[in-house]
Each structure stands twice: as structure tokens, then as C-alpha cells.
Amino acid sequence: MNHDPELPPIPAAGDAGSQGCAVVGLYLALLDDLSPEQVQAVFRHLAVCAHCTQELQRLRRTTRLVASLPASEPSPQVDQAILAALAAHREEQVPPRTSTDASIPVSRSEETAGTSQVPRSAGGSSSAGAGSAHRDPSLEPGSSWRRVWLCLACHPVLEWLCGLS
Amino acid sequence: MTMQETTETHRLETPASVSADAHPLDLATLYERFKRPLHSYIYRLLGSQEDADDLTQEVFLRAHVVWHDLHDHDHLSSWLYRLATNGCIDLLRRRKRLAWWPLTRRHRSSGPGGAGSDEDAAYLPLESGGIPEIFEREHIRLTLASMPPEYASALVLSAAQGLPYQAIAVILDISPGAAATRISRAKRLFAEQYQRLDPAGLGKPEEE
């Protein structure tokens, strides 16, 4: 019944103790991802457990609230700028970079500091921006992170100085 | 967003759907396919169109930069979501640090016994204009903003983007069991925070 061996087995319907409810509580939060057999097992527990039934109501309300946040899409200016930059990239076929770090968080401060190579609007120099991304040393992860660490290191000193004043 | 829209989003965002029929080397195609779900994800998490525009741009800029070195083209959806999640968490942490600075100074001046985290809520304006739907939306965003970013992102990925916990595990680079636990805790944390910030909303019945 359990497709994921990392999840604990669903307790039997009669096991309505705190341990059983804790396990069922995990499944209640994932109800939409479960197999029909797993859902049936969870509902067999709910039939004899008022606490978990109440918990299901609460979790469903949470899901409904978060799902009610509206969808969105990029503004037209950003849309055109990105497409222009990607098109320029495809045409130029720039040589590959050596860096392979794809999971480094990107911050807006880097962009405002002039490291972003995609222009803010579609007009003008969009193709130049995309092409120069491979030559700008400020895009290297080390430079921006060094700045972040420097700010973090200075923060307690600044706070101490403000406290003195 | 209706349940139908949620299902549609889920279908588009399933990782397998990318490698099946998208040209693996065409970033523009990838952008057209993922700009809406990714932007929606970021917008729901950050609550700002401008920030969502900026971060969507950054995600595809990053994708553009490392595209030639990317060997695994079978999980592009998860990879893009991971870039977006890292950017969102980075920005949310920075926001919390910025909020922490003036709060620290205010607590010092007002002495012990302050309102604590309730004052955090006062820092985020409720721009409802008296309209219940907008008030609720702002309230949801306020609740998300009060949560640890890792939990908020897991919650939005699950509840709003409609992704299964196994896919979320890949995006967050954790085990499926850890993803399931994080989603479960995130939902409970949201419920507690939402009730704490909106005592009038306590006990509202679930609409079936």
C-alpha cells in the first residue's frame, strides 16, 4: 500500500492513540498525493478518530487558502527583455562557461549592482546584454558572496556602535 | 484560483512533461512553457509583482549562463523551481533581517514585555481597502511571510502549485520522507499562524 518506503506505515483503524494519530496526521497533509488504497486506509482511521477528522478540516482549509492566491505572469517589458536576451544567446552560440554552479541563490542586489545581463526593457541593447554575460567576472559566484559575507561580518560591529550612541 | 486551474498548473509543471516534448536545447521554448507557473510560484511566495518579475528574470538569466554545462536535461522543471526557490528564500531571509533591525531598536527603547511577534505583523501593511477577498489574500501573505522561508516554499509548492511531495523533494534536494514531513509541518504552522493573526477567523467551517 505504501509506495514510499520512507513514510511510516498507516496504522490500523483501531489504532487511535497519539502515535497512530501522529502518523495519520502526516498522511492527512499529503492526501492529494496518496494512492486510492492509502486514502481508504486513512479514512478508515478517520471514521473512528474525531481528533484526526478535525485536523483534516484544518489542513483542508489551509490548502484552500494557499491555493486561492492568484496566478500571475511576467509583465510585458520583462517578458520581451528575457525573450530578446534568450534569442540573442541562441544566435551567438557563446562558448561554454567553466562554472557549473546552478543552485546558487541569486539576489536582486546583484542585479542592481549591474551584474544582471538581461535588460529591464525590450528596447535598445538587449542582445549585447545577453552576449556579454559570459565575460563579466562579477557574475562569478565568489565575488557576490564575498560581499555578502563582508556585510554579515560588519553587522555586529555596526549594531555595537549604534548601541553606544 | 480554482481547483481546475490548480490541476492545470500541476499538469504543466510535472517534470516528466518537459523532457517528453520540449526541445531540450531551446531556452526560449522552456521560458514560454514555464514563465507563468514559475512567476506565479514566486509571486505567491513573495507577494510582489516587481520582485516576481525580477526573480523570474534572474532564474532564466542563471539558466542562460549555465545552460551549456547542464548535463541533466530530464529534470528541467525541478531545476528551474530550485533556482526560483533559492532566490525566494534568499530574498525572504533578507527581508526578515531588514525587519529585525528596527524591531531590535524599538524593543530596546520600549523595554521588556512588548508585543513580540505581533509587532512583526504590524510591519506588513494590510492594503485591503475594506474588501473581504483582498483582506483575506493579504492575510494569507502575511501568514506566509511570518513562516520560515523553507516551510513557506514547501507549502506553496504543495498547496498552490499542486506538486506532489516526491517532486518537491527533488526541488528542495531532500528525501521524499523529509519533504512529506516538511509539508505536513508547514500546513500546521500556517494554520496556527493564520489563526493567531486572525482570531476572528477561528473555527470557520471548511467549504466542501
A–B interface: beta-carbon pairs under 8 A: 210
Residues of A in contact with B63 (CB under 8 A): 102
Please say if the pLDDT value at position B124 is more than 50.
Answer: no
Tell me, yes or no, if A100 comes closer than 8 A to chain B by beta carbon. Answer: yes
Residues of A in contact with B75 (CB under 8 A): none
Q: Please indicate, yes or no, whether the overall pTM of this predicted structure exceeds 0.80.
A: no
Tell me, yes or no, if B83 comes closer than 8 A to chain A by beta carbon. Answer: yes
Please say if the pLDDT value at position A72 is more than 60.
Answer: yes
A53-57, A87-91, B10-14, B27-31 — which is least confidently predicted? B10-14
Please say if the pLDDT value at position A101 is more than 50.
Answer: no
Residues of B in contact with A64 (CB under 8 A): 206-207
How confident is the model over B63-81, as pLDDT tens digits? 888 877 776 666 789 999 9
ipTM exceeding 0.85, yes/no: no
Tell me, yes or no, if B91 comes closer than 8 A to chain A by beta carbon. Answer: yes
pLDDT of residue B21: 41
Average pLDDT of the residues of chain A? 68
User: Can you give the three-state secondary structure of chain B, one letter per residue?
Assistant: CCHHHHHHHHHHHCHHHHHHHCCCCCHHHHHHHHHHHHHHHHHHHHCCHHHHHHHHHHHHHHHHHHHHHCCCCCCHHHHHHHHHHHHHHHHHHHHHHHHHHHHHHHHHHHCCCCCCHHHHHHCCCCCCCCCHHHHHHHHHHHHHHHCCHHHHHHHHHHHHCCCCHHHHHHHHCCCHHHHHHHHHHHHHHHHHHHHHHCHHHCCCCCCC
pLDDT classification of A31: cutoffs 50, 70, 90: very high
Best of A72, A155, A157 to disrupt the B interface by mutation (most B CBs within 10 Å)? A72
Tell me, yes or no, if B28 comes closer than 8 A to chain A by beta carbon. Answer: yes
pLDDT of residue B104: 47
Considering only alpha carbons, which residue of chain B is nearest residue A101?
B66
Give me the residues of A, 35-54, that contact B with CB < 8 A. Answer: none
How confident is the model over B25-63, as pLDDT tens digits? 578 888 999 999 999 999 999 999 999 999 999 999 888
Tell me, yes or no, if A69 comes closer than 8 A to chain B by beta carbon. Answer: yes
